[in-house]
Structure 1
C-alpha cells in the first residue's frame, strides 16, 4: 500500500519506523525503491509477538464463576 502511495504521488511515501518507498524512473521505466528501517521492523515484530503470546496465555486461564 505504501508503495502504491509513492507511485500515485510520484514521490516518497513513509510507513513510520519500518520503511520508506520512493517512486522514480530508471532507464525510462517506473522504478520503486524501498529503504528498510530495521530497528523499527524489530520493534513491530516484537510487539506483534508479545501480543500473540498474551492472546495465547489469555486462552489458558480457567474461567471464573
Structure 2
C-alpha cells in the first residue's frame, strides 16, 4: 500500500505543478499585454503567492482570474 500512496503523491504533485505553471503563464501573459500598473502589481503579487499554493488555492485564483 505504501507504494500506491507514493505514486498518488507523485501524481498529485505533478498535477499541482502543472496547474501552477498554467496559472503563472496566464498571469505573466496579462502582465505583458497590459498597460495598467494596477494589473501588473496585482498579478506580480499573485505570482508570488502561486509559488506557495496548494491545489485549493490554485483553483480559487483561477476562478478570480476567469472573472476578470
Question: Which category of TM-score, normalised to the shorter sequence, fits these structures?
Answer: 0.3 to 0.5
Higher Cα radius of gyration: 1
Is the strand fraction higher in 1 or 2?
Answer: 1
Return the TM-score normalized by structure 2. Answer: 0.38
Point out which structure has higher relative CO (alpha carbons under 8 A, 6+ apart).
Answer: 2
Is the helix fraction higher in 1 or 2?
Answer: 2
Return the TM-score normalized by structure 1. Answer: 0.40
